[in-house]
Amino acid sequence: MSDLLEYFDNNDNEDLKLRHSLAMERIGEILKEDALTEEDNEYFKAMAEFYIKPSYENTLPGKYEESFFDPAFAVKKLGPEIGRTVSFLSYESLNIIPFRAEGRLFDEVILLELFLEIYGLFLAEEKGVRPSDIPVKNAVKSYVYDYLEHSVSMRIRSQIDPGMSFARDIIMESDLSNTDYLEKFGEYIDDDTREVSAYLATLPEERIQLMADTFTEGFRMGFVSTNKDISKKSTVCIRYTLGLERVIRASIENFKKMGLESIVMRRALYAANRNSLVRIGYSGAISNKQMDFDHRDDRAIFLDKAFAERKLQVISKTFEKYKDLAAANAGRALMETFGDDPFSPVFKKEAFKMDKAQQDIMLEISAEMGVITDRYIPGEESSFTIISYPAPRIGEHFREIFDETIKINTLDYNRYRDMQQQIILTLEKGDHVRIKGKNGNRTDLTVKLTPLKDPEKETIFENCVADVNIPVGEVFTSPALTGTNGVLHVTEVYLFGLKYENLEFTIKDGYITDYGCTNFKTEKEGRDYIKENILHNHKSLPMGEFAVGTNTTAYAMVKKYNIFSRMDILIAEKTGPHFAFGDTCYSWEEDVEVCNPDGRRIIARDNECTIKRKTDKNFKYFECHTDVTIPFDELDYIVSVDEKGNEYPIILDGRFVVEGTGELNEPLK
C-alpha cells in the first residue's frame, strides 16, 4: 500500500502540491491573455476554463459539435494536424474529473503540464504563426512514453490490488437511498443512472439479495463445474455499470463470505490503456457515443513498435512485482446494463485513424497481453460470471422489464437442463448441422461438428445451466472449421452498442471470407465498420462457437416490449441460434476437464486453429469473441444431419420439435 501514497494521498507531498499550484496559477493567467490568434486563443481559453471547473457538459450532443472535444471542430479551427492533436488532448483531459474525485494529484499534474507545454510551443512563435505539428505531436508522444510505466502499472493493479479501494469504499460506506452518492465516482451521471439507483432503493432487501445471490453463486459455480479450487484465491475483480450499487454492496458481502475481497475496477482512463470503444471496468453513462467513436483510434498519434515493446515490458514487470496479488485473484464478476438507444456512428475524416501497420501492432499487443496475463492469472485456475439488467432508457416499461429480467435471470435451471440435454442428444446424432433463415433472413449455413467417438462418456455440446453465463438457456460447442460453410445473415443486430443493418458473413471452412452491411452509403464504409468492430482489425476470424439458444421466456419479453434492438448480447444470444467469431469459449482453458450434468466429458474444446497451440510456439489467440444471434422469427429450421443424410430436426418453422422440449414453445405463442 505504501507506494500508492504518491498518487492517492498527496497531503504531505509538497513538491507535487507546488507543481499543481503553479500549473493552475498559470492556467488562470491564460484566461487574461490574448497572445495568440483568435482561433488559438479560443482553444486555450476553453481548455483553461475546463481545467478550472471541469464538467462533461460540453461533451453532450448539441454542444460537442461546437467544442474542441470534436476533432472536426478542432480541425476547422486549427487545421488538420494540430487540430486533431489538440482534440486528443481535450478528450484525454476529461480524465481530470475522475482524477480529482480519487485524489490522484500526480495524474492531474502531468496532464496540466502537458497542456502548458503545448501552450508554450504556441507562445514561442510569432503572433499569427502556429508551431509545426511535429513538436506538438512530440509533446503528446513524450507524455505517453514518459508516464507509460505509471499509467500501465496502475491499470494492472486496479484489477488485482485490494488496496485500491476507492469505489468499494463509496459503495460500502455511502447512503445508497440518496442518489447524491453517485457524484463521488467522478463519472458522467445521467438521469438514467440516478433512476436505476432510485428504483433499487425501493426494492425489498430480499429482492436485492436474490439478485446478488444469483450473481455471486454463478461465480462460485464456475469453480465447482470446472473442478477448480476457489479456496486458493482471496480476491475477485468486480466490473459493473453505475446505479447498481445496492446489488453490488450485497454481492461484496456475499463474496466476503466466500473468502474473497472485492476489487472494484474503474474503466481505463489513459489513452495508453483504452481499448477502442469497449469500457472494461466500472463506468457511468456515456455522455456522447459519437465522441467516443471519434476518439476510438487516438492511439494512432503515438502507437509504434517502440510503444508496443515498452508497454509489454511494463506489463510483465508489473505482474512480476505483484505476482502474489495476481495469483490470489479468482477472476472477474461483471454486472452490466442494457437498453441504450440504437447508435449508428458517423465516420469523420478529421478523427485519428490507425493505419494497417498500427492495427497489426495492436493485434500483437492484445495477443501478448493475453499470454502475460494468463501466466500470472491462469485461466485454468480462475473463473468469471456475467449478468445484465435494463436501464430506464429502455423505455416507459422500464420497471416491468426490470422485474421480468430478474425472473429471467433466476429461472429454474433444472427444467432447462433436462430439455437442453434432449437437444444435445439429438444434435449429436449428426455429422453436421444445417441452419436456414426465413422472413428475409438469408442464412443458409452448414456447421460441421467435432466427431464423437464414445457417446457414452463424451459429449460435444455444453449444457449451459446459468453458472458463469447468466441467464440459463443455451447449448454450445466449438465447431469443426473444415466443412463449416455458407452464409450467415441477420437483418438487424446490435453489438458492443453499435447497430448493424443486414449484417452478412460468407464462411468457407470455418473462416470469414467476405462480409458486409447496409448501414452506409458505400460498401467500403460497411466493410471498414465490420472489420474494425467485429473482426477487431483481423483479416479474418474463425467461427469459435455455434450455439442453440433456448430461453424463449427472454425472447417473449423482448417481443412483448419490442426491445430486441436494445438488448444486451448476454440475453440476446439465448433467444435463438448464435455464432461467435474469434476464440472459442474455452480459450486458455482447453485442457481443463469439464463435464455436463449427465457426467459426460466435453471434448469439443479445440478446433483446427486452437489445436496449433500445442505445436506452434508462435500461436496467439485472437483475444476476441463476438456473438451474432438469429432471432426465432427469422429462423426457418435447425436440423442435425448424419453422414447418410438422415435428418434430426431441432427447430422447424421457428419452433422446437425435439421430444420433451414442447415447454420451450409456450412463451413463443
pLDDT digits (tens, 9 = 90+) for 524-537: 999 999 999 999 99
Mean pLDDT of all residues in 142-146: 96
Q: Are residues 341 and 221 in the same domain?
A: yes
Residue 643 placed within a domain: yes
Domain boundary residue, one of 74, 104, 136: 136
Q: Are residues 122 and 207 in the same domain?
A: no
Residue 572 placed within a domain: yes
Q: Are residues 126 and 267 in the same domain?
A: no
Domain boundary residue, one of 121, 136, 151: 136
Query: pLDDT category, 6, cuts 50, 70, 90?
Result: very low
Percent of the chain with pLDDT over 90: 83
Any idea what DSSP says for residue 267?
A: P
Q: Are residues 530 and 617 in the same domain?
A: yes
Domain boundaries, position 492: 412-668
Of how many residues is the chain composed?
669
**Is the Cβ–Cβ distance between 291 and 346 less than 8 Å?**
no
Q: Which residues have C-beta within 8 Å of that of residue 322, sequence separation ≥ 6?
A: 156, 157, 160, 161
Residue 344 placed within a domain: yes
Residue 553 placed within a domain: yes
Q: Are residues 374 and 421 in the same domain?
A: no
Region for 331 from its dihedrals, namely left if φ exceeds 0, alpha if ψ lies in -120 to 50, beta otherwise: left
**Residues 120, 114: Cα–Cα separation, whole Å:** 10
Q: Is 25 exposed, middle or buried (0-12, 13-18, 19+ CB in 10 A)?
A: exposed
Sheet holding 498-508, edge to edge: 511-516, 498-508, 480-495, 444-448, 432-437, 635-641, 647-652, 655-656
Q: Could you give the number of structural domains in the chain?
A: 3
Domain boundary residue, one of 355, 388, 421: 388
pLDDT at 499: 84
The angle formed by the CA atoms of residues 602, 606 and 610, to the nearest 5 degrees, is 160
The tens digit of pLDDT for each residue in 563-609 reads 887 887 778 888 889 999 999 999 988 888 889 989 999 999 999 99
Residue 395 placed within a domain: no
Residue 165 placed within a domain: no
Q: Are residues 587 and 523 in the same domain?
A: yes
**Average pLDDT score, the chain:** 93
Residue 272 placed within a domain: yes
pLDDT at 12: 64
Query: pLDDT category, 10, cuts 50, 70, 90?
Result: low
Q: Are residues 205 and 337 in the same domain?
A: yes
Q: Are residues 416 and 354 in the same domain?
A: no
Q: Are residues 416 and 384 in the same domain?
A: no
Q: Are residues 229 and 309 in the same domain?
A: yes
Q: Are residues 355 and 454 in the same domain?
A: no
Q: Are residues 35 and 95 in the same domain?
A: yes
The tens digit of pLDDT for each residue in 474-511 reads 999 999 999 999 999 999 888 877 889 999 999 999 99
Any idea what DSSP says for residue 394?
A: G
pLDDT at 3: 47
**Is the Cβ–Cβ distance between 147 and 155 less than 8 Å?**
no
Residue 28 placed within a domain: yes
Lowest mean pLDDT, pick from 8-22, 299-313, 387-401: 8-22
**Residues 204, 270: Cα–Cα separation, whole Å:** 39
pLDDT at 411: 87
